[in-house]
Amino acid sequence: MTKTKLQAEHIHMVFTRDGKTTSVLNDISLTVAEGEFVCLLGPSGCGKSTLLSTMAGFLSPTSGEVTIDGEAVHGPDPRRIFVFQERGVFPWLTVEGNIAFGLFHLTAAERHQRVAHYIKMVGLEGFEKAYPPALSGGMKQRLEVARALAVNPDMLFLDEPFGALDSITRLVMRGELLRIWEAERKTIIFVTHDIDEAVQLADRVVVMSARPATIQQIVNIDIPHPRDISSARYLELRDGIFQQIGLAHKI
Amino acid sequence: MNSLVEPKKWERFVWPLLATALLLALWHYSVAWTATKIFPSPLDVKKGIAELIRKKVLWPDIIDSLRRVAIGFGAATVIGIPLGLTLGWYPAANQVVNPVLQILRPISPIAWIPIAIILLGVGDHAATSLIFLGALFPIIVACVDGVSNVPSVYRLAGRNFGLGPFRLLTQVVFPAALPKIIVGLRLALGIAWLVVVAAEMIAVDSGLGYLVIDSRNSGKRYDLVVAAMLIIGLIGLILDTGFRRLEKIKSVRWGFRDDS
């Protein structure tokens, strides 16, 4: 086993609102290795996004601790970037301006070179001076990924990044993300409620229960990339997760 | 007319022109039929404007009014924006100041005239301070509103990239709130233009507001009164149109409905 990147230990999260307490996360423990691609899979509203925000340092757990590279997480950090659904791009900046946003500590020349590199990587050449309202949903999402990669983080947190895209764009984006991940080998934690998406992308799928979220099962996806999504092993793993979540595989 | 159908290019000019012509005609014949000795006809007003231009009073009065608006509105912008941003940024501070703001805000700047004259005397300072007061509150309110409505994803993203409080305010919160701030500034400029006329009728002896009141007082020249009123309306329109161009700047355009 390679080096441990992230460790979540006995994470509990309880929200109090109007005097009512709601337990959202219940004793979550998870270890993620460096360079690993992990999907958090669960029904909508189960608390998987809360877990992701906790790992990213946006929220503090009620009890338990998240450590990254052995250090306790106390807040967000440019070494690990959170990618929201495409809503996270800044509409007042151009494509270039968005990608350069986190690069304020670099010289102009370095910044320019870095921006050009990532514009090319996500295929936004020709749109350097465009503003986000002029971009499609898929392009905005690629832009946000480029902005995240440009600061050279060692981890990415992706919160249902392709959820708002149409199904064709979503498939293309999954391919792009895998290509980028194979090139840069960041540790990726990816939240989704889409079982196929999880099995297509992840090294391991963490199956979570409805609220309060607990980890039901962790499934190793032992299929090398590129994955044949009609292979027997793929279908076997996917159907196993379907059953685990308690869904009949018929409509 | 179906609102979904784009008006043709010629229609956008022809219908408003026709409406204006109709109104002018209505005005003209109303004056003629009622045989009023007081209210001027459009033709009288046109002659009045020509007379003002000939006597070289119109231009200095316009400049005086614009100068007072520029000073009062400028000061309100310079003080209102940082104050509003700060109050929006610290909700606790806003809660402390808000009751006072909400009581001061509905008071018409005109009501301050006696106090302004006692404190600052009759003159430019009284007039500009009234404009300042009139413009200040809409600017503060727009900034507070703009800042507190910045979507949290923008703040979170900004923090994630390692921005400190100052950079977060200048590079995320301010640009995100800018469309709302521009709307507030535009409203404030409109109010400033309303207030300058009122203030000039009482506190000073130059400017378009003074022109209105002086035309009546010195010889009941209602043709000049209406002429000055028309000029005031025209300049107000020009100021507003100019300001609306700011909404077309690309880095704020996302915040406005694209209706062109």
Residue-wise pLDDT for B33-73, tens only, equals: 998 888 899 999 999 999 999 988 899 999 999 999 999 99
Q: How far is A91 from chain B (nearest CA, A)?
A: 6
Please tell me whether residues A126 and A112 are part of one structural domain.
Answer: yes
Check if the beta carbon of residue B132 is closer than 8 Å to that of residue B76: yes
- Name the pLDDT band for B258 (thresholds 50, 70, 90): low
Crossing angle (nearest 10°) for helices B124-148 and B91-104: 140
**The pLDDT value given to residue A100:** 95
Please give the pLDDT value at position B35. 85
Residue A85 has pLDDT above 80, yes or no: no
pLDDT band at B202 (very low <50, low <70, confident <90, very high): confident
Structural domains of chain B sorted by starting position, each given as residue range(s) with its CATH number in brackets: 41-253 (1.10.3720.10)
3-state secondary structure of A83: strand
**CA-angle at A84, arms to A99 and A136, nearest 5°:** 65
Do residue A66 and residue A165 come from a single domain?
yes
Residue type, B106: P
Per the structure, the complete domain to which residue A160 belongs is given by: 1-79+154-251
Out of A130-144, A233-247, B119-133, B203-217, pick the least confident: A233-247
- Would you call B159 and A76 a contact, using CB atoms and an 8 Å cutoff? yes
Comparing CB atoms, the residue among A78, A87, A133 nearest residue B160 is A78
CB contact under 8 A, A92 and B151: no
Q: Are residues A171 and A250 in the same domain?
A: yes
- What pLDDT, on a 0 to 100 scale, did the predictor assign at position A250? 56
Pick from A91, A161, A164, A76: nearest CA to A122: A161
Top mean pLDDT of A157-166, A167-176, B63-72, B216-225 is at: B63-72
Contact between B104 and B161 under an 8 Å Cβ cutoff? The reply is no
Band (A9; pLDDT cuts 50, 70, 90): very high
| Helix segments in chain B, DSSP class H | 9-34, 42-54, 58-89, 91-104, 113-120, 124-148, 152-160, 165-167, 174-202, 208-217, 222-244, 250-253
The count of structural domains within chain A is: 2
Do A195 and A123 sit in the same domain of this protein? no
The whole-angstrom distance between B174's CA and the closest CA on chain A is 10
> What local confidence, expressed as pLDDT, does residue B84 receive?
94
What ipTM goes with this model? 0.89
Q: Is the pLDDT of residue A89 over 90?
A: yes
**Do residues A175 and A248 both lie within one domain?**
yes
- Selecting from B162, B172, B175 the residue whose C-beta is nearest the C-beta of A78 gives B162
Contacts of B171 in chain A (CB under 8 A): 101
Crossing angle of helices B113-120 and B174-202, rounded to 10°: 80
User: Which residue type sits at A1?
Assistant: M
> Does the beta-carbon distance from B157 to A131 stay under 8 Å?
no
Residues A164 and A212 in one domain: yes
Dist. CA B93–CA B91, nearest whole Å: 5
> Are A145 and A229 members of one domain?
no
pTM of the model: 0.85
Q: Which residues of A touch B157 (CB under 8 A)?
A: 82, 84, 88, 90
Closest-CA distance, A133 to chain B, in angstroms, reads: 7
Residues A177 and A250 in one domain: yes
Q: Kindly tell me if the per-residue pLDDT of A208 is higher than 80.
A: yes
If asked whether residues A93 and A36 sit together in one domain, one would say no
- Measured CA to CA, the distance from residue B78 to residue B188 in angstroms comes to 13
User: Which of A152, A167, A198 marks a domain boundary?
Assistant: A152
Confidence of residue B157 (pLDDT cuts 50, 70, 90): very high
Averaged pLDDT of chain A: 89
Model confidence at B3, pLDDT cuts 50, 70, 90, reads low
In sequence order, which residues have a C-beta less than 8 Å from that of residue B217 and are 6 or more positions away?
Answer: none
Residues A239 and A219 placed together within one structural domain of the fold:
yes
Q: Pick the residue from chain A with its C-alpha nearest to B256.
A: A133
Q: How high is the pLDDT of residue B191?
A: 95
B236 alpha carbon, distance to own chain's centre: 7
pLDDT of B1 strictly over 80: no
Asked if A131 has any chain B CB less than 8 Å from its own CB, the reply is yes
Domain boundary among A129, A152, A175: A152
Phi then psi for A203, rounded to 5 degrees? -75, -40
Q: What is the pLDDT, as a whole number, of residue A248? A: 53
User: Residue A8 forms beta bridges with which residues?
Assistant: A30, A66
What are the backbone dihedrals phi and psi of residue A157, each rounded to the nearest 5 degrees, phi first? -110, 120
Give the domain-ending residue among A132, A152, A172: A152
The verdict on A158 and A148 lying in the same domain is no
Contact A131 B253 (CB under 8 A): yes
Compute how many other C-beta atoms are within 10 angstroms of the C-beta atom of residue A203: 17
pLDDT at position B260: 41
B259 pLDDT more than 50: no
A1 pLDDT exceeds 70?
Answer: no
Whether A251 has a pLDDT exceeding 80, the answer reads no
pLDDT at B119 over 70: yes
Q: How many residues does chain A have?
A: 251
A144-166 pLDDT tens trace:
989 998 999 999 999 998 888 88
CB atoms within 10 A of CB A42: 26
Do A163 and A74 reside in the same domain of the chain?
yes
Taking 90 as the threshold, does the pLDDT of residue A171 lie above it? no
pLDDT at A247: 63
Q: What is the pLDDT of residue A162?
A: 87
Confirm if B224 and B218 have CB atoms less than 8 A apart. no
Average pLDDT of the residues in B126-143? 94
DSSP reduced 3-state for A233 = helix
